Amino acid sequence: MTTAISTSPTMVQRRVWPWIVFLSYGVLLSVHLWNGFDFGSFFQSGVRIATPLLLAALGELIVEKAGLINIGIEGIVLMGAFGGFAAAYQLDSLWIGVGAGMLAGLLLAIMFAFLCVTLRNDQIVIGAALNFLAIGATGLLYQIYYASSGSTHTLEPFQEFELPWISGIPIIGPALFSQTALTYLAILITLVFVLLNLRTRIGFHLEAVGEHPRAADAAGIPVHRVRWAAVLIEGLLGGLAGASLSLASSNTFNEEMSNGRGYIALAIVIFGRWNPLGVLGASLFFGAVTALQLSLQATDIDWLRSNYPYLQMLPYLLTLMVLTFSIGKARAPSAMGKHYHRE
Amino acid sequence: MAFLEANNIQKSFGRIVALRGVDLEVRKGEIHALLGENGAGKTTLMNILYGLLSPDSGSLQLGQKPYRPRSPQDAMGSGVGMVHQHFMLVPTLTVLQNVLLGDSPFSAYRKEVMRDRLRNRMEQLSFDLPIESRVEELSVGVRQRVEIFKALWKGAQLLILDEPTAVLAPQEIEDLFGLLKDLKSEGHSILFISHKLDEIQELCDRVTLLRKGETVGTYQVSEVDRQEMTQLLLGRALSPLTKRQRTQNPTNPFHVRPNPSPHGRLKEGWICDLYPGQITAIAGIEGNGQRELAEAIVGVSSTDSVSIEMEGHSLPSGSPDRISSGVGLISEDRQRTGLVMDFTVEENLALKDIARVPWSKGGWLQKDKIRRTANQLIEQYRVDPPDASRLVSDLSGGNQQKVVVAREISRNHRLLVAFNPTRGLDVGACENVYDALIADAESGAAILLISTELEEVQQLADRVYVLFNGQLTKISEDNWSADRLGLAMMGADTGESC
């Protein structure tokens, strides 16, 4: 019996990767020291910007792994941003805000799960409808409670928490160890995802439900329950992503503040090839590009400053390009977007 | 001693009665065949035994105890395992993970323990499976063994096999039969569902015949011959295949040759000649490029393309032009590529030429004309029920295939590709398809029969090729025996290159 295991390419990759990382760090460090360009704060803002993208994309990842597609992640993020801001502002506690943001995201996720998993409606249509619902609901509540009073409402956001000693390492220190609590949380969740994916039966059950729900059902895995659970987790993570927008990346809520981040998260899942570490890499990439366009806006080149909308397009343009070029390479879960019911 | 007993099982769906009273008795340590026409109720009965459906009335007993499975897990727990035609394996997981899927306490910690246990059980049953390979890397034959092993691992005493040989090569079929006989001698019971009478005669001890939702009877296989079986099955004798005059010295063939394509399945460098008035057959095991070839000929393959030339003229490439230049396809996958399931019979019959006279004039559908033509075809091809306005999805598989065959043959065509045209059809329906193909060849069309059924190839073909791994090989007439063809299908070099 042939057990053709194609270990060789991955083994090569494993040996090469540390070197690539090490070398690029060396290059950056020398530029940093010679030229004085502050890579540290550049990467710091890149990672900060990547945090909500990463959280939302992890949520979408688990849902797609389970064989669903929820473009309503955009609305979930927006709900989280509003819920987080409102609760934190009223009750004067950031962590209560975080919890409320997650619950607000959960609310939308419950609707999605009920409509699409239980009632088997079209996932794209429902996802789009939930996005509009979120825009309408958050906009209305914001108008009633905050905008109408005329004054701006801001709060004291999450501060960077510098981990002792290691935050002093050049470049890496500010980028990874001088972030808000929510960023550390996001990275922790990514690692949990990696472990779940590779080492536990939860990972296999998700895989089975997303690849071949009938086989999963025949093996005694409750397909609908697994899908419900995946959507609920997406709600919590998407809500957390939203809360990090209004409580860490800024200090207030704006209408439609998610601003397409949920859609970028959809692209990140594809770019990250349905793999938690891939999703982490893709999020950091998008974060870095956004940070780049922000720092380009701040340069003293007049043309760039006066034509800043072109720079703002950059992340979205990149989304399109990534989607164009990753077609055919990545393989989505076979049952993604398809309903499952017994014959 | 009866292991499984079903008495007077009845089941209806709405107004449609699927089972009118079925009796079945499978003994311990026997291989029992279940034989019936398309729509006779085999699938329904199977689903009841496996807990996917519950019967309206009647009683089931398993090992002398009442048996009422509410779900496949229930059935498995009682010792009934099933190997579906479409495998229930997650392609991206390994064999080990698939076998253990659903067994609750499974973690990395327990993996070593479970792997050892699995290995032991495999040795015990003399299975040899690559347990660390992903299922998608395995051949169909091996996947089937994984399915069988999985069922045994979960404690199956009775194995239900739904047309297990449909996807296998002759040598793989022999291996499977060997395995099933071993299992039988170890005391397992096997319920073997098949359309192929010769397989039933080779493998099975007894056979139960179903006709229109009723048990015709249960017989010792050694006591009934094929003619009797067919007669019992159809309620009539099978008329012998129309012998036809082979066209001597046929002229003006279509030359089919693959175009270079980077991601194609078909290899370059061969030509296949299709003569008008003849049936040219391409034999081969599934997955060697047959689907790509069939789709490339009608111009709808996304990966491969072929050029077709006749008397120095080439046929247009690309689907709409190719099809309207007189190329037809009878697809194996009628539900996916042959029919629109939510259309009626007449709409499906008119589907390909709906934009043309006489089906429509100036953009308006000619309903009367469509209905009249449809009724003619329904009568000619004995579509049952004979109702042009019925949804195709309400028809049984065999009758759906008749609709496809009727449409493709009645269209104006010069070249017809029949790609596994009898997949999933019972003997009676196969006979209809064969007669139609022969009649079509006699009326001057060039027919390409792409089939995994050796018997079909041997019976119908004027010339035979074998497709292996995208490469076509011509087989000379003295090498048409099942053994020789089977070897060529496995890639042994027995033919001449072309």
Pick the CATH number of A50-151+181-326 from 1.10.3470, 1.10.260, 1.20.120, 3.90.1310: 1.10.3470
Pairwise CB contact (< 8 Å): A4 & B90? no
- Ordered per-residue pLDDT tens for chain A, 343 residues: 333 434 444 555 566 777 877 888 888 777 777 776 777 888 899 999 999 999 999 999 999 999 999 999 999 999 999 999 999 999 999 999 999 999 999 999 999 999 999 999 999 999 999 999 999 999 999 999 888 877 778 899 999 888 888 888 887 888 888 899 999 999 999 999 998 887 777 888 898 999 999 888 888 888 999 999 999 999 999 999 999 999 999 999 999 999 999 999 999 998 888 999 999 999 999 998 888 888 888 777 788 778 888 888 888 888 788 778 766 556 788 888 888 876 5
Kindly provide the ipTM of the predicted complex, given to two decimals.
Answer: 0.75
Pairwise CB contact (< 8 Å): B88 & A1? no
Nearest to B132 among A3, A215, A342 (CB): A3
Q: What pLDDT shows up at residue A8? A: 45
Contact yes or no for A141/A82 (Cβ under 8 A): yes
Cα B74 to Cα B69: distance, rounded to the nearest angstrom: 5
Pairwise CB contact (< 8 Å): A199 & B107? yes
Chain B residues in contact with A217 (beta carbon < 8 A): 72
pTM: 0.76
The nearest alpha carbon in chain A to B110 belongs to A200
Inter-axis angle of helices A8-35 and A39-65, nearest 10: 150
DSSP alpha helix (H) spans, B188-300? 197-203, 226-234, 290-298
Chain A residues in contact with B93 (beta carbon < 8 A): 204, 207-208, 211
Parallel, antiparallel or unpaired: strands B496-497 and B364-365: unpaired
Whole-Å CA distances, B467 to A335, B92, B437:
31, 28, 21
Cα A129 to Cα A124: distance, rounded to the nearest angstrom: 9
Contact yes or no for A252/A155 (Cβ under 8 A): yes
Q: Rounded to 5 degrees, what are φ and ψ at A206?
A: -60, -50
Nearest to A5 among B87, B98, B132 (CB): B132
Q: Give B 339-368 residues with CB within 8 A of chain A.
A: none
Contact yes or no for B208/B232 (Cβ under 8 A): no
Nearest to A208 among B76, B90, B133 (CB): B90
Contact yes or no for A237/A76 (Cβ under 8 A): no
Q: Rounded to 5 degrees, what are φ and ψ at B311?
A: 50, 45
Pairwise CB contact (< 8 Å): B52 & A5? no
**Touching check for B72 and chain A: CB below 8 Å?**
yes
Pairwise CB contact (< 8 Å): B101 & A208? yes
Q: What pLDDT shows up at residue B242? A: 56
Query: Which of A113, A99, A107, A8 lies closest to A70 in space, CA to CA?
Result: A113
Report residue B419 CA to chain centroid gap: 11
Pairwise CB contact (< 8 Å): B88 & A214? yes
Q: What pLDDT shows up at residue A2? A: 39
**Touching check for B18 and chain A: CB below 8 Å?**
no
Distance from CA of A4 to the nearest CA of B (A): 7
Nearest to B137 among A4, A208, A220 (CB): A4
Cα A106 to Cα A191: distance, rounded to the nearest angstrom: 22
Pairwise CB contact (< 8 Å): A1 & B128? yes
Q: Which residues of chain B have pLDDT under 70?
A: 104-110, 237-249, 492-498
Query: Which of A50, A105, A36, A74 lies closest to A259 in space, CA to CA?
Result: A74
Q: What pLDDT shows up at residue B239? A: 66
**Touching check for B233 and chain A: CB below 8 Å?**
no
Chain A residues in contact with B101 (beta carbon < 8 A): 204-205, 208, 215-216, 219, 221
Q: What is the pLDDT of residues A221-277, one digit of tens each?
A: 889 999 999 999 999 999 999 999 999 999 999 999 999 999 999 999 988 889 999
Q: What residues in chain A have their Cβ under 8 A from chain B's Cβ atoms?
A: 1-5, 199-201, 204-205, 207-208, 211-212, 214-221, 334, 342-343
Query: Which of B371, B421, B379 lies closest to B401 in space, CA to CA?
Result: B421
Cα B408 to Cα B93: distance, rounded to the nearest angstrom: 40
Nearest to A218 among B88, B97, B108 (CB): B88
